[in-house]
Structure 1
Amino acid sequence: MNKKVLSYIKDNKLIKNGDKILVAFSGGPDSLCLLNILIELKNKLNIKIGAAHLNHLLRGKDAFKDEEFVKNICEENDIPCYIKRVDINKYAKEYRLSSEMAGRNARYDFFQEILDSKDFNKIATAHNANDQAETILFRLIRGTGLEGLGGIKVCRENKIIRPILCLSRKEVEQYILDKKLNPRIDKTNFEKIYNRNKIRLDIIPYIKQNFNEDIVQTLNRMSLLIQKDNAFIERIALKAYNKYCNRIDGDFLLNKELFSEEDSIITRVVRKALVEISESCYDFEMKHIYDILELFKKETGKVIDLPKSICAENIYGDIKLRKNLKNRVISIKNEIKLNKNDLQNKIIEFNGYNIKMSILANTSSDELNLNESNLIKYFNFDKIDSIISVRTRLVGDKFMPLGMKGKKKIKDIFIDMKIPKEDRDNIPLICFDNNIAWIATLRVAENYKVTKNTKNILKIVVERKE
């Protein structure tokens, strides 16, 4: 058995010389088998081993007996042992998760805590070939895509490894007998109140008896083929993600051109963006991805809510993913007023911008490049009576854009220029005597433009604060 596992470890490059392996140790047959095999292979692999046990506080006295068993095994083998207790029912209620998902999250959070604070670089879990078969059937019944049918990966993120995924449950049980080990038995594994247990106790035995006696190995072979095919598609999807997805101030903008790609690429790009913005792999289902695909076909401004307080908005065909604005705190100072005679070398901080003002006396327009940048604009200082103000928009705001004779609503300008709704209330409006002279970075007004007859010029520079 050790030779089989050693060969599997080497073939899949799971462990390197000098690795420090943290074993997820429940005390049950699978994890005891894994721990014992790694202890016996420790010198050949030149590794260090530790064990981590999470007490879910679900099984009364038995849970504490499991905890004591784990401690004793680790002491007997002189390996470090880390134990934590988490009330999984309370955890599940707090985070609105199933008890199974809550347990999984709590375990991996605990394992990561140990990796971050202790001298370990990999986590070994005791999934076996039967677990793989059960996982594939479980996902198939619930509904899944190609990645889901690939089942459990032998290695994830070059950090989580499954060294006994090559062993069947029968082989694990035989190893336990041969080594005269006495694992803890979780009685809940035999209760048919859990769907996974029903698959283990009813469905797989039925398939073995009536269709395919080797169903476990058949599903494991299939998973390897699917994983290879999926890896190829994932590489193409990653190129599309880098091409079409842009991160802006923590939000993600999916370019409309993405949605002309094949569905298999689109769905993967959208899922990756959701995972990145939410920092969670487990809260999004295909229905959420399809909701975003449908959103692409809707009118601009349409917004949908997603799990993890994420929302998606159609912005003229592009899809913006962002943390829900209901959970954001945005501090906006409505207005700053200055006297005309107090502008020289003035710097105003407003809504995340630095606005710098300076007066260029007796300067000809011929000496300036009036269109050098959207962040630098020049105005006829002599037309300003007394007050310069910086504020955000008000309902009904209008101004006369450069080159036009009539006024236009600020709202319509934002719509025409495809400015996202959540950004419109932050954009500074520079006003002279209560008239809007510049929608900062966007449009300037006709009535304060610099001409050949202008003698004194007001220069305004707008910069984003770091």
Structure 2
Amino acid sequence: MKTTEQKIIKFIDREGLIEQGDSLLIAFSGGPDSVFLFHFLIKFKKRFKVNLAACHVNHNLRGRQSDDDAEFCKAVCAEFSIPFFEANVDVKNYAAEKGLSIEEAARNLRYNFFSKIASENSCNKIVTAHNKDDNTETVLLNLFKGTGLTGLSGIPIRRDNIIRPLLCLDKAEILEYLKADKLAYRIDKSNFQNDFKRNFLRNKIISKIKDEINPSLDDAIFNSSQIFKNSDKVLNTFIESISGKYFSGTDETLHLDLKLIDDYNDEILGEALKYNLLKEFNHTFNFDDYLKLKELADHQTGKKVILSKNIEAYKERGAIVFVRSIKNKKFVEQKIKADQQIEFNGRVFGINEVKNKKQIKLNSDEQVEFICADDLSDEFTLRRWKAGDKFIPLGMNNFKKVSDFLNEQQVPAYKKKEQLLLTNRNNIVWVIGLRIDNRIRYSDKCKKTYKIWMR
């Protein structure tokens, strides 16, 4: 057994990456790393007592070369009778649709396909061929982005059902092994171009660091990343233990109680935000985000900052609320008549004439109101409120701006913009869910009564 093979087996056993009976899905690009991984697992399949399959994603970014990579992988798998799965994806179109870089889009599509194939074919683990050089690049990129301890922890040896047994090797060891065994592999020439951040870092910066400062840079950074990972685990355990007290929310929102700042220092605030935004919104928190939110905490209620294309943060009374914004979430003004109902945004709104006054039940249900319709037309309008809107709230005698009313009702800033009104003849009938206009309040003298409701 070769020294390199012994090194990997020892690493796999120490980290508990492979167990007897595992069904492993190999992420097979055809490049040197994945070819090495493929042949290593073929050679030691009986030793580990595992089943193997392989999958390849054609990103269609390099024309005929991409197709040749796929054909190569297919042929290798056929030679060793290994089940082979392939996907053709349109990375450029996906990147444009999702607002991602080409690198991010390609990665998302790859891992989505890996997960799909693993699930459909009962593969309990996905094996990727990341090595120490990849880890070095990841740690340095994260350092430059300011992502904190989590980013400096590097590429996880194991994440969910994904394992990376080659993180104990550097690229040179892999290439030396392939050369000695005369194993063919594909070369992605785009790796030598500096169009992407990772390529620039690899080709221009890391090589100089190894030449001028530390030839064992990959080992040094890998060891450091494991120390950072352990420190991050300890910190996250503490953050998790206090998060339930200061964070709450729904599928679309996350609430931060600003008492956290009084109870702990700023450093804990940053780490708590990073942990919870990643957990709830899959948002990678950085130092710029921290500065924005720290400033927001000192602002008056109603102020907003944007963390990403999909997350907005609002200052509320004693809190910051994070909202998952939805692109093109617009409400189109709608007309509705008595004894009709309409559906919108998962809600149902209706107006019904009440024929029997015994059906009138004035209660505290904010989603149901009874109004006097004697002076109303039979056509109503459902719309969002706008600046300048005013009405006479139930129980009052004078007009009040809707904006001031919403503030008095302490409607959160992130909800204000979505507040709906029901109007009739351009007069506000109902600030929906909050208050009707005093002029159309129900009394026993009403000749015509409408029930207006939403659920």
TM-score, length of structure 1 as denominator length: 0.76
1:330 alignment partner AA: F
- Are the structure 2 counterparts of residues 315 and 374 from structure 1 closer, same or farther at C-alpha, using a change threshold of 3 Å? farther
Find the counterpart in structure 2 of residue 344 from structure 1: none
- Give, in whole Å, the separation in 2 of the partners of 1:337 and 1:462: 9
Kept in 2: contact 1:315–1:418 (CA 8 A): no
Show the counterpart of 2:213. Answer: 211
Per the alignment, residue 14 of structure 2 pairs with: 11
Gap change, CA 1:421 and 1:128, over 3 Å in 2: closer
Q: Which runs of 5+ in 1 are unaligned?
A: 339-346
Partner of 1:99: 102
The equivalent of 1:295 in structure 2 is: 296
Whether the 8 Å contact between 1:240 and 1:258 is mirrored in structure 2 is no
Per the alignment, in what secondary structure is the counterpart of residue 16 of structure 1?
coil
Deviation at 1:114, TM superposition (A): 1.9
Q: Which residue of structure 1 aligns with residue 319 of structure 2?
A: 318
Look up the match of 1:227: 229
193 and 388 in structure 1: CA distance in 2 versus 1, 3 angstrom threshold: closer
Q: C-alpha root-mean-square deviation of aligned residues, in Å? A: 4.2
Q: Secondary structure at the match of 1:196?
A: helix
Aligned letter for 2:89? V
Match for 2:84: what amino acid?
Answer: C
Residue 225 of structure 1 deviates from its aligned partner by 0.6
Matched length: 442
- Partner SS state of residue 18, structure 2: coil
Q: Secondary structure at the match of 2:138?
A: helix
How far did residue 360 of structure 1 move? Answer: 6.4
Structure 1 residues 384 and 308, CA gap change in structure 2 (3 angstroms): closer
- Residue-by-residue CA offset, 1:3-49 (whole Å, 9 max, x unaligned): 43233223223233332221111222211111122222323333221
Alpha-carbon distance in structure 1 between the residues aligned to 2:62 and 2:428: 69
**Residues 110 and 428 (structure 1), Cα distance of their counterparts in 2 relative to 1, 3 Å cut:** same
Shift of 1:288: 3.9
Which entry has the higher C-alpha Rg, 1 or 2?
1
Aligned counterparts, 1:184-333, within 5 A: 184-191=186-193, 194-201=196-203, 203-248=205-250, 250-260=252-262, 261-271=264-274, 274-275=277-278, 285-324=286-325, 327-330=328-331, 333=334
Note closer, same or farther for the CA distance 1:30–1:349 as it changes in structure 2 (3 Å cut): closer
Q: Equivalent residue for 2:158?
A: 155
Please list the CA deviations of residues 361-399 of structure 1 after superposition, one character each: whole Å capped at 9, or x if unmatched.
599xxxx9x8x74548898x9x88576998656854332
1:170-191 deviations in Å (ceiling 9; x for gaps): 3323332443322223344444
Please give the alpha-carbon distance, in whole angstroms, between the structure 2 residues aligned to 1:252 and 1:430: 33
**2 CA distance for matches of 1:223 and 1:108?**
23
Letter of the 1:417 partner, please give it.
Answer: Q
Q: Which residue identity does 1:76 align to in structure 2?
A: E
Against the structure 1 CA distance between its residues 81 and 320, is the aligned structure 2 distance closer, same or farther, given a 3 Å change threshold? same
Residue 407 (structure 2) aligns with: 415
1:36 aligns with 2:39: yes
Q: Is the 8 A contact 1:298 1:314 kept in 2?
A: yes
Q: 2:70 aligns with which of 67, 82, 89?
A: 67
Quote how far apart the aligned CAs of 1:124 are.
1.1
Which amino acid in the other structure matches residue 214 of structure 2? N
The one-letter code of the counterpart of 2:226 is: L
The one-letter amino acid of 2:235's match is I
- Aligned residues of 1:306 and 1:312 also touching (Cα < 8 A): yes
Query: Structure 1, residues 395-444: CA drift from partner, whole Å, max 9, x if none?
Result: 54332554x6655444322111221464466456699x999887555457
Q: 1:258 and 1:4, CA in 2 relative to 1: closer, same or farther beyond 3 A? A: same
Q: Which residue is equivalent to 2:29?
A: 26
Structure 2 segments unaligned to the other structure (5+ residues): none
> In terms of mean alpha carbon deviation, does 132-141 or 183-192 score higher?
183-192
Task: Tell me the CA shift for residue 227 of structure 1.
Answer: 0.4
1:164 alignment partner, SS class:
helix
Instruction: Say which is worse superposed, 107-116 or 244-253, in terms of deviation.
Output: 244-253
Q: Are residues 1:124 and 2:117 paired? A: no
Report how far residue 87 of structure 1 moved: 4.8
> Could you tell me how far 1:194 is from its partner in structure 2?
5.0
Relative to structure 1, the CA distance from residue 328 to residue 198 in structure 2 (aligned partners, 3 Å threshold; closer, same or farther) is closer
Match of 2:111 in 1: 108
Offset at residue 231 of structure 1 (A): 1.5
The equivalent position to 1:144 in structure 2, one of 127, 147, 158, is: 147
**Counterpart of 1:51?**
54
Q: Distance in 2 between matches of 1:190 and 1:354?
A: 60
Task: Give the direction of change, closer, same or farther, for the CA distance of 1:74–1:422 in structure 2 (3 Å limit).
Answer: same
Report the AA paired with residue 303 of structure 2: K
Distance apart, 1:103 and its partner CA: 2.8
Q: CA deviation at 1:107?
A: 2.0
How far, CA to CA, are the matches of 1:235 and 1:328 in structure 2? 37
C-alpha contact 2:56 2:86 (8 A) present in aligned 1: yes
One-letter code of the match for 1:154? I
Distance in 2 of aligned mates of 1:149 and 1:249: 29
One-letter identity of the residue aligned with 1:214: S
Residue among 390, 413, 422 paired with 1:397: 390
More displaced 10-residue stretch of structure 1: 307-316 or 66-75: 307-316
Q: How does 1:317-356 map to 2 (within 5 A)?
A: 317-324=318-325, 327-330=328-331, 333=334, 336-337=337-338, 352=347
